[in-house]
């Protein structure tokens, strides 16, 4: 059994299971579990999606994740890897186009498709990282307009609505103007986990407060520290992009967009690592079963 076996369905991530017949490996994302049948330890049995035979868990030595300090450093350096530089530049150009068009309402509405596609890629980075990917994923493939463009926008809007808009209405109604600050604090704590959830599940059910809050309480220390880092980066990115993009020089504007896109990549990578380093505790995909 190879602890470095790659997933047969997605070779960019490690396999967590190996078929005892054909030898193919599968990550937890692609593992086919028999929910009604368990082994002597109470764990669900996993069968191969190719030949249907039983799979065995792979020794998880490769799943012993690095300390937070190390993967934070890697999150900053990953976009500068030689393979990722073309993606970084292309993303910076797209980001510059979206930012420049945001001031024109008509063009912004026409660009909703691009915004959805861009949002889908950000969610792909989170999900890919959460499942063990150590490089940036390719740009998403276009399947249908609803799944590829419209659904990501609606998922992001739903996450923002339940994280910030709903608490603002609730707290200001009960506490008055001072409730805005409490609502912003709630949103800052709630939104990162919600973004992780919709990225992995791609479902509106993922914004369920019970799931999100319980998950936060399971890993409070790591989550609070990583979330704080996430919002600090978001502030730095907004500040730097705002200064450079406010310049009339096109080169400075592009640099501002490039910085903005770079920090977005880092932020999404950090969110993915929150789940990846705590997947057996959170157990959203049945990793601990």
How far apart CA 80 and CA 82 sit, in angstroms, is 6
Q: What angle do CA 191, 194, 200 make, to 5 degrees?
A: 145
Strand duo 44-47 + 32-38: pairing = antiparallel
pLDDT at 176: 87
26 φ, ψ to 5°?
-140, 140
Q: Where are the beta strands (DSSP E) in 208-269?
A: none
How far apart CA 70 and CA 73 sit, in angstroms, is 5
Sheet holding 25-26, edge to edge: 25-26, 17-19, 55-57
- Report the largest interatomic distance among the alpha carbons of the chain, rounded to a whole angstrom: 68
Return the structure tokens found at 3.
């602890």
Spell out, as residue ranges, where the chain has pLDDT lower than 50: 1, 39-41, 61-64
pLDDT at 91: 79
How far apart CA 81 and CA 157 sit, in angstroms, is 32
The pLDDT tens digits for 144-199 are 656 767 888 899 999 999 999 999 999 899 888 888 989 998 998 899 999 999 99
How far apart CA 31 and CA 48 sit, in angstroms, is 8
Q: Which residues contact 186 (CB under 8 A, 6 or more apart)?
A: 163, 167, 171
Neighbouring CB atoms inside 10 A of 221's CB total 7
pLDDT at 62: 43
The pLDDT tens digits for 250-273 are 676 677 777 878 888 888 999 998
């Amino acid at each position: 059994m190879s602890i470095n076996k790659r997933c047969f369905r997605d070779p960019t991530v490690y396999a967590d299971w190996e078929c005892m017949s054909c030898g193919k490996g599968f990550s937890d994302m692609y593992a086919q579990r028999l929910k009604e049948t368990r082994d002597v330890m109470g764990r669900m049995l996993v069968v191969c999606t190719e030949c249907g035979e039983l799979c065995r868990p792979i020794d998880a030595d490769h799943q012993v994740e690095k300390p937070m300090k190390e993967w934070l450093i890697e999150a900053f350096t990953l976009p500068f890897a030689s393979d990722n530089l073309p993606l970084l530049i292309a993303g910076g150009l797209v980001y510059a186009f979206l930012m420049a068009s945001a001031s024109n309402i008509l063009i912004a509405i026409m660009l909703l498709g691009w915004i959805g596609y861009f949002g889908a890629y950000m969610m792909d980075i989170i999900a890919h990282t959460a499942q063990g990917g150590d490089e940036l994923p390719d740009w998403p493939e276009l399947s249908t307009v609803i799944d590829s463009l419209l659904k990501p926008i609606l998922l992001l809007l739903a996450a923002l609505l339940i994280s910030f808009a709903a608490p603002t209405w609730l707290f200001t109604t009960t506490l008055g103007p001072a409730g805005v600050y409490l609502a912003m604090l709630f949103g800052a704590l709630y939104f990162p986990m919600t973004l992780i959830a919709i990225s992995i599940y791609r479902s509106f059910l993922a914004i369920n407060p019970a799931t999100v809050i319980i998950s936060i309480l399971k890993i409070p220390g790591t989550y609070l520290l990583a979330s704080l880092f996430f919002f600090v980066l978001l502030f730095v990115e907004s500040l730097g992009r705002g200064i450079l993009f406010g310049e009339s020089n096109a080169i400075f504007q592009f640099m501002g967009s490039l910085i903005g896109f770079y920090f977005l990549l880092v932020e999404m990578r950090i969110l993915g690592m929150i789940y990846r380093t705590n997947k057996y505790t959170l157990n959203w995909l049945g990793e601990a079963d």
